[in-house]
Amino acid sequence: MTSFHYTTRQPGETVEKLLREQWQGGKKSVHQMRMDKSVTNAEGEPVEWKEPLPEGTELIFGFNGVHSSYKPEPFDSLRVIWEDEHVLAVYKPAGLSVHPEHAPGTGTLMNEVMGYIESKGGTYAEHIHRLDQHTAGILLIAKHPLAKTMFDRMLEQNQIERYYTAELEGQLRKPRGTINMPIGKDRYHATRRRVSPSGQSAVTHFKVLERKPDTTLVEAQLETGRTHQIRVHFAHLGHPVVGDQLYGSETIARGPYKLVASKVAFTHPITSELTILETE
């Protein structure tokens, strides 16, 4: 069974307040946990939800019958960057899709992740955000439904800082700045996006890391997470990501285009610890 441990930090905490107020768990998940009596003490006895608990009480939050649908596959090449009972951070190689397009697809990162999770006795893994197929870097994965609910909300409220390193064609004039341009679908191309007044709000902050003879290395921080956002924004400025031919790169680059999700930072919603994860 998928589960996690928690020790109360102050006198009078209740399961009800933790789940509904402090963690703001999804109504469906919280209701199911209550019906299943799946919150227990260290001895495995169900805990009354509204009973004030002494500081230091050990609780076990269980999730009966939760299973992710990804078919588990060998995970020999899976690179785990960091994990705890709630979240797994892995490195996604360029060229590998995050998840299958159709169930029960195979050959994706989530298939490998599911193999890893099952090897540890778990049954649940759902990605919190996405990376384009040819973008490498850090991907966050929830290990239980409550974590998925909390991190989805944090992502929506811009409480997960996501940084990318990109190599751009040409010399970007400004040393730092913000690109605030809405992004919508390109009516002439099924997968391409474009800057469009009728599109969704899209904001990218950037700073120059290094200037090379023909390219510029930048760090970009997402304030929003639109499809292809970094690629679209810099291409619109006339500086496409090196090798990104979908958005007009004229550089013949070996392998994938030069874009990596290099850093993720957030305050952990359960432990309250500042968590900063970076690629090596």
Q: Which residues are catalytic?
A: 132
Q: Three-state DSSP class for 157?
A: coil
**In a 10 Å sphere around its CB, with 0-12 CB exposed, 13-18 middle and 19+ buried, how is residue 185 labelled?**
middle
Interatomic CA distance for residues 9 and 16, integer angstroms: 15
Q: DSSP secondary-structure letter at 30?
A: H
Q: Are 243 and 256 in contact (CB under 8 A)?
A: yes
Q: Three-state DSSP class for 258?
A: coil
> Torsions phi, psi of 264, nearest 5?
-135, 135
| CA separation, residue 72 to residues 120, 193, 238, 255 (Å) | 12, 32, 42, 27
**CA dihedral for 167, 171, 176, 182, sign (positive or negative):** negative
Residue 42, CB-side half-sphere exposure with 13 Å CA sphere: 6
Alpha helices in the chain (DSSP H): 15-17, 27-36, 109-119, 145-156, 229-236
Give the DSSP per-residue string, 178-204: EEE--EEE-TT-SS-EEE-TTSB--EE
Cα-to-chain-centroid distance, residue 267 = 14
Using only the alpha carbons of the chain, give its radius of gyration.
21
81 membership: H or E segment, kind and range: strand 79-83
